[in-house]
Structure 1
């Protein structure tokens, strides 16, 4: 939705094409992880996909508008580490 609004307001440019390509690639990655992988690899790939999405929101977006980067990097690192800890703990505690 945000990509469509950006295209309607700004027209086509390099940022718009990169945004659309990233969203399409992310959609294919999510579909692949959910349909073609099995546990325990699926949970680790889910954590990696969430980390990549958080990197786009917390690091790439502020970087593209020229905003501060330190807080976004700290949040991204913390959330990504928490997701990895959750995936490791879940795989060790839940039976296959």
Structure 2
């Protein structure tokens, strides 16, 4: 069995590939639809979220790491379930209920997990 190097180097290659794919997708979106304020703001939010996830995964330790993961996931869910319908002019009650329920369940699970798992 051959490997391409230590796990950290392989993980860095995957990260670089994901960032490159995201950049290509954003460029294709800008070429197809043009550049407007909404696209720029959405791109900035997604890039900031990506950097935040990378920072949490590489620079933090348990138990704080798991709580930050839940916070980032809750933020991403809030964008999809609350902010997008609000921007489209749709009703947000179902999305708000789903967001609150999923975020609360994730926080409950994280709290339970951190109390029961050894460090």
Q: TM-score, normalised by structure 2?
A: 0.75
Q: Distance in 1 between matches of 2:58 and 2:33?
A: 36
Give 1 or 2 for the bigger CA radius of gyration.
Answer: 2
Mapping of residues 12-31 of structure 1, within 5 Å: 12-31=35-54
Per the TM alignment, residue 8 of structure 1 is displaced from its structure 2 partner at its CA by 3.6
CA contact 1:3–1:16 (8 Å) conserved in 2: no
Q: Which runs of 5+ in 1 are unaligned?
A: none
Q: Distance in 2 between matches of 1:79 and 1:60?
A: 16
Per the TM alignment, residue 81 of structure 1 is displaced from its structure 2 partner at its CA by 0.1
Write out per-residue CA displacement over residues 27-56 of structure 1, whole angstroms, 9 at most, x where no aligned residue: 000000000000000000000000000001
- Number of residue pairs matched by the alignment: 96
Q: Which has the higher contact order (CA 8 A, sep 6+)?
A: 1
Q: Distance in 1 between matches of 2:29 and 2:92?
A: 23
Q: Distance in 2 between matches of 1:3 and 1:76?
A: 26
Mark the CA change 1:68 to 1:26 in structure 2 (over 3 Å): closer, same or farther: same
Residue in structure 2 matched with residue 86 of structure 1 by the alignment? 109
Q: TM-score, normalised by structure 1?
A: 0.92
Q: Distance in 2 between matches of 1:11 and 1:4?
A: 10
Q: Which runs of 5+ in 2 are unaligned?
A: 1-21
